[in-house]
């Protein structure tokens, strides 16, 4: 069974408080779809990997035959990272983290404002294309970090709880070079219930 694109859980214009409709449409129907298509094409020669979850594939890329490993790393990563990105956004207003997630954020970063500043800093410090992440370590604590290109936290032994795409294709139409403004506005559309679910259930 080939991998498939999960439906977008809202309309293209639902995220206008942070991201314009045209960007959401192109990002989902072109960029995300292309990562998926390329992942499926790469795996066609080794269909046994269609039996595995995308998380199991990305956790240990050394299990992937060398001739398709880079393609799977880039396109499997792109496929997976964007599923997280779409799922942890919702139409504004976003509110704030609650419950166990809020407690863990306070424990690791002092308070919510400081957490947001640290994540924005990680996004700004990523030179070129990549992602800023809030991830969970195996001991249950939280860490902010970033990955280049479509590399995933899974490959570093971390579980991605929240991720923001800082490739230019994620923000260029509305923000041009102003990545900082995109990151500030992005908080308007974060789905904290889903972020908390990812934290609690992982
Ligand atoms: Mn992207």
Give residue 114 CA to ligand 1 midpoint distance, Å: 26
User: Is residue 190 classed exposed, middle or buried when 0-12, 13-18 and 19+ CB atoms within 10 A define those classes?
Assistant: buried
Q: What percent of the chain has pLDDT over 70?
A: 100
How much is the average pLDDT of 125-147?
A: 97
Residues 115 and 175 in one domain: yes
pLDDT at residue 118 is higher than 90:
yes
pLDDT at residue 95 is higher than 90:
no
Give residue 170 CA to ligand 1 midpoint distance, Å: 6
Residues 132 and 197 in one domain: yes
In a domain, 12, yes or no: no
Give the model's pLDDT for residue 171.
98
Give the model's pLDDT for residue 85.
98
Give residue 180 CA to ligand 1 midpoint distance, Å: 16
- pTM confidence score: 0.98
pLDDT at residue 98 is higher than 90:
yes
Give residue 85 CA to ligand 1 midpoint distance, Å: 9
Give residue 66 CA to ligand 1 midpoint distance, Å: 25
Average pLDDT, the chain: 97
Give residue 144 CA to ligand 1 midpoint distance, Å: 19
Residues 190 and 106 in one domain: yes
Give the model's pLDDT for residue 1.
83
Give residue 30 CA to ligand 1 midpoint distance, Å: 10
State which residues form the domain around 104: 99-201
Stated as kind and residue range, the H or E segment containing 163 is strand 159-165
């Amino acid at each position: 069974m080939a991998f498939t694109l999960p439906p977008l859980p809202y309309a293209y214009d639902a995220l206008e408080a942070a991201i314009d409709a045209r960007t959401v449409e192109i990002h989902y129907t072109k960029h995300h779809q292309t990562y998926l298509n390329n992942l499926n094409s790469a795996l066609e020669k080794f269909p046994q990997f269609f039996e595995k979850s995308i998380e199991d594939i990305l956790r240990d890329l050394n299990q992937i035959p060398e001739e398709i490993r880079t393609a799977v790393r880039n396109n499997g990563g792109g496929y997976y990272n964007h599923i997280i990105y779409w799922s942890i956004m919702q139409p504004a207003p976003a509110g704030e983290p609650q419950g166990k997630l809020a407690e863990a954020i306070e424990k690791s970063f002092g308070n919510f404002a400081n957490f947001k500043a640290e994540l924005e800093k990680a996004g700004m410090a990523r030179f070129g294309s990549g992602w800023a992440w809030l991830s969970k370590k195996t001991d249950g604590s939280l860490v902010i970090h970033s990955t280049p290109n479509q590399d995933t936290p899974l490959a570093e032994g971390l579980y991605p709880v929240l991720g923001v795409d800082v490739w230019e294709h994620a923000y260029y139409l509305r923000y041009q070079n102003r990545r900082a403004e995109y990151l500030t506005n992005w908080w308007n559309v974060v789905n904290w219930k889903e972020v908390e679910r990812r934290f609690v259930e992982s």
